[in-house]
Amino acid sequence: TEEYLRAVRFHSALFASVLNWSLDVFARVIAMGIAEIYQSGPPPRHDRWQRCCCGVVCFIKDNVAKAFYIRLFDFDRRDFVWEQELFVEFTYKTRLPYFHTFEADDCQAGVNFAFEDEAANFGNAIEEKLRSRRQKRQERLQRAAKNDQSFPVHDRQIPTCPSTNGVSSQHNKKSSKSSNKKGKKQKERKYTKADISNPTDFKHIQHVGWDPDKGFDLENYVDSKELNTLFEMAMVTEKTSRSPARGSSSTISLPRTVEPT
């Protein structure tokens, strides 16, 4: 039995070198050993170990999948017949020097190694990788926490744009000029008849008439500066207004009123 195991061990070491050569850049064997794979069962109790397969168990880094796997190669089938990926919360336990366990996707899995030194090397390789992954994950979380703390919190206000080469100031000047022009245009607005309101009241204060015999006929005469000024502008005196020449026409030149346009 010992000679058989030694022969198998030699062939497994040779197999590892051949396997690494065949996998090339697609995957790399980190650790390996002759072992049996056991799974817990039957479901749903999972209170017993059931033998699953036997061959060479390999700890492999799959470059294509960008993940780490525990896979078992079957010599009879010449292919990998079983695998388990190392997920984030993966735990690996050494129950005995030759028997290691871990949680698989749908059950508990056990690896029964033929040689304890291979079991130790295999377990150490997996534990080292798990520690490295946990450390990298912790560093990422710390960096993310630092970035969150250093990120400044700004008020939700719209900042004023600084003037660049006087562009902003020139724009402000143009806008102020345009607003002034608009203001002037509004002040110089033309009025129409619609802007004139209807009369609200009327009083007969004074009457100025013309009579051929009496001249100017003044009713309810009020000595006002405005009326006297009007007569002076028309070059009419009290004498001429009461004794006009027969057959002549007297014309009073009134000042022209300017209507709003």
* Reported confidence tier of residue 48, pLDDT bands at 50, 70, 90: very high
117 and 220 fall within a common domain: no
Task: Report pTM.
Answer: 0.52
| pLDDT of 103 | 93
Evaluate if residue 215 carries a pLDDT over 90. no
Output the six-digit token pair for 103: 């949680």
Residue 111 lies in a domain: yes
Q: How far is CA 258 from CA 84, 124, 231, 255, in A?
A: 105, 111, 19, 9
Residue 156 lies in a domain: no
* Residue pLDDT, tens place only, 134-181: 999 889 888 888 887 765 555 555 455 555 454 455 555 555 555 555
Pairwise CA distance, residues 71 & 52, whole Å:
13
Q: Which of 126, 147, 168 is the last residue of a domain?
A: 147
Instruction: List the one residue out of 40, 34, 61, 70 whose CA is nearest residue 52.
Output: 40
What residues form DSSP beta bridges with 80?
73
Determine the 3-state secondary structure of 31 from DSSP. Answer: strand
Q: What is the CATH number of the domain that holds 67?
A: 2.30.29.30
Output the six-digit token pair for 232: 């002076």
Residue 254 lies in a domain: no
234: Cα within 13 Å, side-chain hemisphere: 18
6 and 75 fall within a common domain: yes
Domain housing 212 = 207-242
222 and 131 fall within a common domain: no
19: Cα within 13 Å, side-chain hemisphere: 27
13 and 98 fall within a common domain: yes
Pairwise CA distance, residues 55 & 12, whole Å:
9
Residue 125 lies in a domain: yes
Domain count, the chain: 2
107 and 25 fall within a common domain: yes
105 and 228 fall within a common domain: no
